[in-house]
Amino acid sequence: MRARFFWMALLAVASCQRAAKVEWVSTTFENPWQVMEASGSDTLAEASVVVDLSAVKQTVEGFGSCFNELGWTSLQELSEADRAAIFQELYTPAGANFTMARMPLGSNDFSIDYYSYDDVDGDLALAHFSIDHDQATLIPFIRAAKAVNPSLRIWASPWCPPAWMKVNKHYANTSASVIFRSWAGMQDRMEDNRLPEDKQIPEGVDAFNQDPAYLEAYARYFGKFIDAYKAEGIDVFMVMPQNEPNSAQWYPACTWTPEGLAAFVKYLGPEMASRGVDVYLGTMERADPDLWDRILTDPEAGPCIQGMGFQWAGKDALPELHRRHPELPCYQTEQECGDGRNDWAGAMHSWDLMKHYIGNGVQAYFYWNTSLLEGGVSTWGWTQNSLVVVDKENKSFRYSPEYYVFKHVSHYVRPGAKVLSLSGTYPDALGFQNPDGRTVLVLANQADAPKTLSLEGLPGHARTITLPAGSINTLVF
């Protein structure tokens, strides 16, 4: 009799433990991050999500955002206590748990202005190289993040080289007056750089000086950057040679042909290898896989490349390049940036992109603007979204809907997790299995009415759940 009671009690405890393990958090535009009761639903399921715990795909390295100057200056509008709370929220397991980050190598479209680490024309010896400019912005930004997450892994890419290394001697490839000539009203919104028309460099042309002396000096420029940041206590584990090498922009930019970029990678690879720093090909922003394969299959440049990075239209090159080069890890390098509205539609677009990238093999995922002032206006006049939105007038802040989309994944999915294969009749989902064996399902309902789903392949748990209208949800089993 006592043995019978013992086993009944043991089963009861086990049942309670199983139930206690089920977590559900839901976010709508009006009510973010609501803890829900995961007790199941009596409503007839409209669709199914089938989890196959035996069919695992790529390993997750992590999630993160990027450091830029306007991110740091926006945060300076807040109190020290608010800034501390934001860094705890972004970079610790209690919040978004970002374990990786991207940084620029010099200026970018969300820097305060153009600059490089050596703006002395013709200084191929790099005698004037210095990262002193970053002491006021990027370095304290990164240190604040690393203060709460010392193991934060950081990679870097340039938007443009020192302007004197380009054939037009200018940080941009084109001017706003030219690039937006056919866009009604856009010229008045954009800050023009006054680049003369005879100095414009279109896509498909090498803007970087292809003289081997310049290519070799630019590789050493990367090396000096790695060394200088290391001296500040900031390790960079990987670089990509160019942000969007096909995009002829009116802000800091540099176009490269595949052959020109391959020629540079031949110098960059050994320079980085001598420091134990990886080189990934990126950031790839065009959809044609053959364009990028001309670099990956180059007999000298190809062996220097340890991974690939994709953003914007590059997402459409990802499936084929991943198929051709399964040995190379893939990163999503920049979330599409929105329009400064920080609305629910932008958040759902972010979610759709995340499904595409993770479904096609990426192992790390990055947002661009960590923080911006309300409206998200760049130095060059265009607007973008951000994870943190700062109200300068009221000295307050809020987290954007896109932040919660990221948090619904990054808070629960640990580095080392495996992406799971999902099937069934409901495609608006992602699945992961953490190193501790727990299963994470992220489910969106983009409809205007609640949606009831059956969750299959998860024995011992409630099989039916009703998702609120217009919501993103995380369940952990």
Distance CA 194, CA 175 (A): 6
Q: What is the pLDDT of residue 76?
A: 98
**DSSP sequence for 285-299:** --S-HHHHHHHHT-T
Question: 433-437: long-range contacts at Cβ-Cβ below 8 A with a sequence spacing of 24 or more?
Answer: 433/53, 433/56
The DSSP 8-state label assigned to residue 60 in this structure reads P
150 CB-contact burial (10 Å; exposed 0-12 / middle 13-18 / buried 19+):
exposed
Residue positions counted in the chain: 477
DSSP 97-152: ---EEEEESS--TTSSS---S--STT-TT-TT---GGGGGTHHHHHHHHHHH-TT-
**Residues 6 or more apart in contact with residue 463 via CB below 8 angstroms:** 40, 454, 455, 456
State the sign of the Cα–Cα–Cα–Cα dihedral 406, 410, 416, 418. Answer: negative
Q: What is the pLDDT of residue 459?
A: 76
Q: What b/e string do you get for 1-38 counting C-beta neighbours within 10 Å, with b at 16 or more? A: eeeeeeeeeeeeeeeeeeeeebebbbbbeeebeeebeb
**Tokens found for residue 24:** 């559900």
* Fold classified for 22-57+421-476: Immunoglobulin-like (2.60.40)
61-412 has which CATH code? 3.20.20.80
Given this model, what pLDDT does residue 30 score?
98
Kind plus residue range of the DSSP H or E element containing 348: helix 344-359
Whole-number pLDDT of residue 185 = 55
Tokens of 16: 């309670």
Q: Where do you find CATH 3.20.20.80 in the chain?
A: 61-412
Contact 13, 389 (CB under 8 A): no
Our CA angle for 135, 234, 88, nearest 5°, is 85
Ranges of CATH 2.60.40.1180 domains, the chain: 22-57+421-476
- What single DSSP character describes residue 333? E
Gap between the Cα atoms of 108 and 134, Å rounded: 13
Q: What is the reported pLDDT for 176?
A: 85
Closest CA relative to residue 363, chosen from 50, 158, 64: 64
Q: How far apart are CA 331 and CA 318, in angstroms?
A: 10
Reading the chain (477 residues) residue by residue, the pLDDT tens digits are: 444 433 443 343 344 334 446 899 999 999 999 999 987 777 899 999 999 999 999 999 999 999 999 999 999 999 999 999 999 999 999 999 999 999 999 999 999 999 999 999 999 999 999 999 999 999 999 999 999 999 999 999 999 999 999 999 999 999 988 777 656 555 556 788 999 999 999 999 999 999 999 999 999 999 999 999 999 999 999 999 999 999 999 999 999 999 999 999 999 999 999 999 999 999 999 999 999 999 999 999 999 999 999 999 999 999 999 999 999 999 999 999 999 999 999 999 999 999 999 999 999 999 999 999 999 999 999 999 999 999 999 999 999 999 999 999 999 999 999 999 999 999 999 999 999 999 999 999 999 999 999 999 997 776 899 999 999 999 999
